[in-house]
Structure 1
Amino acid sequence: MDLQDYLAAVIFGAVIGIVARIVLPGRQNIGIILTVLIGMGAAVAGTWAADRWDIHSDKFLVVRGHSYDWLVIGVQVGIAVVGVAVAALLAKAFSTDDDDD
């Protein structure tokens, strides 16, 4: 992997994380860095899961010569939604704010 691949992974991870936050209802009190990290992890985990269980389609999103399978993207976003939900629940559970008064 070269620098361009890492940059693409960060950008794609950010997009997946942000899409997950949009799909997930309610407010999530987690920062943008954690959102990007969750998105990046979801991109890797979703790719692995799609390969492991042979989840592929014949529909592709092509960006600058790279092809992305729509079903794989769906798996990645699904994993990111779960990751954002878990992070938001943990952030709320360990929060020291007294907003409940």
Structure 2
Amino acid sequence: MTIASILGAIVIGAVIGAIGRLLLPGRQAIGWVLTVVVGIVAALIGTAIAQVLGVATTDGIDWIELAMQIVLAVIGVGLVAGMKRSSV
């Protein structure tokens, strides 16, 4: 992995995590670091699922892959916020 690919994963993870957090109703008591981590994990899992389904390599923007990543980020932010809330 190069520095550029690591930075790219962090930026994409931050964007995916932020979108997921914005779409989840209510207040989430997690910080921005956890949001980025959830976004990175959601982006990786969403890409893997899209590759298995054969929708990851299209011309232009991969809307189906992006939608999968955002849905996974919403689920991930909800799970992490729920776990954090129950541990407090």
**Matches of 1:31 and 1:59 in 2, distance apart?**
35
2:8 aligns with: 8
Seq. identity, %:
38
Q: Give 1:56 shift.
A: 4.7
Task: State the distance in 1 between where 2:30 and 2:22 align.
Answer: 13
Would the aligned equivalents of 1:57 and 1:71 in 2 still touch at CA under 8 Å? Answer: no
2:33 maps to: 33
Q: Counterpart in 2 of 1:51?
A: 51
Equivalent position to 1:81, from 74, 82, 85: 74
Query: What is the root-mean-square deviation of aligned Cα atoms in Å?
Result: 1.5
1:65 maps to none
| Matched position secondary structure for 2:55 | coil
Runs of 4+ in structure 1 off by over 3 angstroms are 55-59
Q: TM-score normalised to the size of structure 2? A: 0.91
1:91 and 2:84 equivalent?
yes
Normalised to the residue count of structure 1, the TM-score between the two structures is 0.80
SS at match of 1:45: helix
Question: Rg bigger for which structure?
Answer: 1
Structure with higher RCO (Cα < 8 A, 6+ apart): 2
The number of equivalent residue pairs is 88
